[in-house]
Amino acid sequence: MDNKQEGPIEQELQSAIRAKVSSICDDGERDIVSVLESIAEVLIDGYADMLAIDLVEDDGMIKQYLMRHIDSELEIHLKKLRNTNPLLSTSAYGYPRVIKTGKSQFIPGVSPRLAHRLFADMDGHSVNDGLSIRSFICVPLIAYGRTLGALTIMTGKRRFTSNDLLIAEDAAPIIAKCLDDRFLLSKKRTG
């Protein structure tokens, strides 16, 4: 398939994702959890196999607010793994690096070695065999000039392209502004 045929399809996907994410974020009745769950559904629906949203807390610590995988058993294992072995703040890959630099990471072909580094258990066992990571995108969530966190998506079905990176980078500021507004609103209610 040549690029001329792929362009309109990818543009349609980008527009559809942007419209769905914007609609979710424009619904002022939704709380943060509902917003994140709905965004995960949009991005996992035929686009990615796994999604994680990590946000920087007021004390500077990074907290995972959401992780979803199309396979619920793998999702449970990944959550447990992440709780026992989060990436170090000095990691060259993933959410710590993206949050620190404010720049996206795009790895169209994830090697088994990199997958092991990202998803190795404390005892050295990797979940990559079941996870089957082929591509990885992590984009910063920046609102009002401040990096709030990172959005990570992965797929095992296909390789992400630079157009997939553009789709994630297009959705990220919408998500970030939405989250920033929701956090500000919740602080006003409790403050």
pLDDT tens sequence across 71-118: 888 888 778 777 777 777 777 888 999 999 999 999 998 877 777 666
**Which of 3-12, 43-52, 65-74, 158-167 is predicted least confidently?**
3-12
**Which of 49-53, 81-85, 154-158, 187-191 is predicted least confidently?**
187-191
pLDDT, residue 97, reads 93
pLDDT, residue 99, reads 95
User: Using alpha carbons only, how large is the chain's radius of gyration in Å?
Assistant: 16
pLDDT tens sequence across 135-184: 989 999 999 999 999 999 998 888 999 999 999 999 999 999 998 887 76
The pTM of the full predicted model, rounded to 2 decimals, is: 0.83
- What is the rounded CA–CA span in Å between residue 67 and residue 86? 13
Q: What is the DSSP string of 19-82?
A: HHHHHHHH-TT--HHHHHHHHHHHHHTTT-SEEEEEEE-TTS-EEEEEEEESSHHHHHHHHHHH
Question: Comparing 127 with 122, which gets the higher pLDDT?
Answer: 127
Report, as an integer, the average pLDDT of 121-139: 65
Task: Indicate the burial class of 143 (C-beta count within 10 angstroms; 0-12, 13-18, 19 or more).
Answer: buried
- What is the rounded CA–CA span in Å between residue 131 and residue 121? 13
Is residue 177 within 8 Å of residue 143, measured between CB atoms?
yes
Query: CA dihedral defined by 142, 117, 49, 177, rounded to 10 degrees?
Result: -10
User: C-alpha 125: how far from its chain's center?
Assistant: 24
pLDDT tens sequence across 59-73: 988 988 899 988 888
Instruction: Return phi, psi of residue 57, to 5°.
Output: -80, 170
Sheet architecture: strand order including 135-143: 62-69, 50-56, 146-155, 135-143, 105-107
- Residue whose entry in the numeric block shows the structure tokens 């447990």: 80
Is residue 135 within 8 Å of residue 118, measured between CB atoms?
no
Report, as an integer, the average pLDDT of 27-45: 86
pLDDT, residue 127, reads 52
